[in-house]
Amino acid sequence: MKQFRLILILWLCMAMNAKANETAANLLQQGDSCLSRYDVFHATQYYQKYLEANPSHLGARRKLASCYRKVGNYTACISCLDKIPSDSINHEDMRMFYYAYLNQNNNDKVSLWGERIAF
């Protein structure tokens, strides 16, 4: 009887974990779907929720930063990009930094990111 309870509890835990993973994947898919329809507002919400559960997912972080940039929230865009490890920053990330700082009239940072893009 104890073995049956243990097996039942383990099975329920596995089922709940699978449901949580399915939900997280669904959030990312919903965000992508909204973004493809140019619904940046809702895409932002889905990516934020996804990143709460998966904060190290760089693809979702980049998509969220892009959403912030598209609506003109350059401070949030920069903050989001700052959470990407420096050894993982790619050319598109550098461009987002550059244009976000350009729109904030932060000439020192514009020069810094402009040089990084060029070299």
Mind listing the pLDDT tens digit for each residue in 16-74?
Answer: 554 444 587 899 999 999 999 999 999 999 999 999 999 999 999 999 999 999 999 99
pLDDT of amino acid 4: 63
Report d(CA 40, CA 104) in Å as an integer.
21
Ordered domains of the chain (ranges, CATH): 2-118 (1.25.40.10)
Which of these, 101, 32, 102, lies nearest to 62 by C-alpha position?
32
pLDDT of amino acid 6: 58
pLDDT of amino acid 18: 41
Query: DSSP assignment, residue 49?
Result: H
